[in-house]
Amino acid sequence: MDENSLIYGLELQARALTPQYGESNDVCFFIATNSLKPTNQVHLIQYEEEQGTVQSKVFEHALGEVWKLNSCPHNSRLLASVYNVQKGAQVLAQSALLTLPEDLNAASEAEQLKSEYLPWGQVEVLNTESLGERVKTIEFHPSQEQTLACVVDNKVAVMQRAESATRVVAEVPASGSASAKHSSHFTTGKWSHHHQGHQFLTLHDGSLSAYDVRDTQHCAWSISDAHGQMVRDLDCNPNKQCHLVTGGDDGYLRIWDCRMPKAPVFERSDHCHWVWSVRFNTFHDQLLLSSSSDCKVLLTCAGSVSSETQVQAGLDETNYGGSGGVPETEEQRHKLLPDGLLQTFDQHEDSVYCAEWSNVDPWIFASLSYDGRVIISKVPKQYKYQIIF
């Protein structure tokens, strides 16, 4: 076992993991189980680095098995779950907003003798039945607290919670139509960190599209055949406009500049099976995490196309007397690592569906495999020190 890793085990299978984005002090993650047994769970875990321990609080998710979790960046107590519900012979995917109790510690003490689960402050099932049968994800807007995006079947809908209004902003052709090449459904979607929060990115088969949500069916840009097979996940570079990363069933990790859609600006094929999760490091975007059903989590460097390349170029000009350099600050002394695979984390024994950076500590991340194993890991010290010193 790697000295930089710590294992937290769930009793049930699981495939949903998200950082607690609204939390600014402690390294916390939400994990939800994906079991056909009657009672599923949501675990809120807190990693205490000095003690090398994990503290957990467990909530019941009685609505069904959870396929996706997202936490709200504006409210640390709020998260969205996507779960399956059986209605007769039909299986539907629905969504709910889950709110933690205001005083979590008091709730923990009060419930210790009554139940093994802590109570939710509020559970609100979202009304998505008019949109479709299979919700893929509920995405919180990065800057507008009352705005949600719902990807369901072949539609993207924007929900304004303050006005109780829902508007479909994108739709791909339904099955059987002449223009529908493959599947008629979106795979997933995510808000862009840039473009004033007006763009929502979607994955559909092997392609990637961005829709301007101010208008209906307004495709701002698209990348056709971004992968040879289905694209499973994407993430925006929070520090470099127009750059995003995708991972797909072809085993590739690719970084794209949406202004140059014909070819990726960076790619690696170090996974030997489907890539389920790709994430930029929020603080040092030269670092990328990816996870796959090859049971591995990979730490990759893409320094040559990161925002830190621009900083380094400015420093070089300053150091050698060039004009147009930028003043050196503590934040700008970050070094670039060589491009390529830095580290393989192979402590999982099943498909790794999620790998997420901590939103508090840039050197800590968590990964989740289907057998319910959560591993909290750290960027190896030699890479950390090369970047910061």
Decide if 340 is inside a domain: yes
In-domain check, residue 319: no
Taking the CB of residue 146, how many other CB atoms lie within 10 A of it?
Answer: 12
The pLDDT-based confidence of 173 (bands split at 50, 70, 90) is: confident
Tell me if 318 is assigned to some domain: no
Give yes or no for residue 196 having a pLDDT over 90: no
- What average pLDDT score do residues 154-160 get? 95
Q: Which residues contact 22 (CB under 8 A, 6 or more apart)?
A: 71, 72, 73, 74, 75, 76, 77, 78
Q: Which two tokens stand for residue 377?
A: 């890991």
- Mean pLDDT value across residues 363-367: 98
Residue 192 lies in a domain: yes
* Whole-structure pTM value: 0.89
The answer to whether residue 328 is domain-embedded is no
- Asked if residues 102 and 70 have their Cβ atoms less than 8 Å apart, the reply is no
Band the pLDDT of 86: cuts 50, 70, 90.
confident
* Residue 212 belongs to domain spanning: 7-105+116-313+334-388
pLDDT surpasses 70 at 182:
no
User: If you average pLDDT over residues 101-124, what whole number do you get?
Assistant: 78
**CATH code of the domain covering residue 359:** 2.130.10.10
Q: Tell me if 323 is assigned to some domain.
A: no
**In this structure, is residue 321 part of a structural domain?**
no
Domain count, the chain: 1
Neighbour count for residue 361 (Cβ, 10 Å): 15
pLDDT in tens, 44-77: 999 999 899 999 999 999 999 999 999 999 999 9
The tokens describing 199, both together, are 């763009």
For all residues of the chain together, what is the average pLDDT? Answer: 89
Q: Tell me: the pLDDT tens digits for 212-270?
A: 999 999 999 999 999 999 999 999 999 999 999 999 999 999 999 999 999 999 999 99
The confidence band for 315, taking pLDDT boundaries of 50, 70 and 90, is very low
Residue 52's identity, in one-letter code, is: G
Residue 207 lies in a domain: yes
Q: What is the reported pLDDT for 109?
A: 60
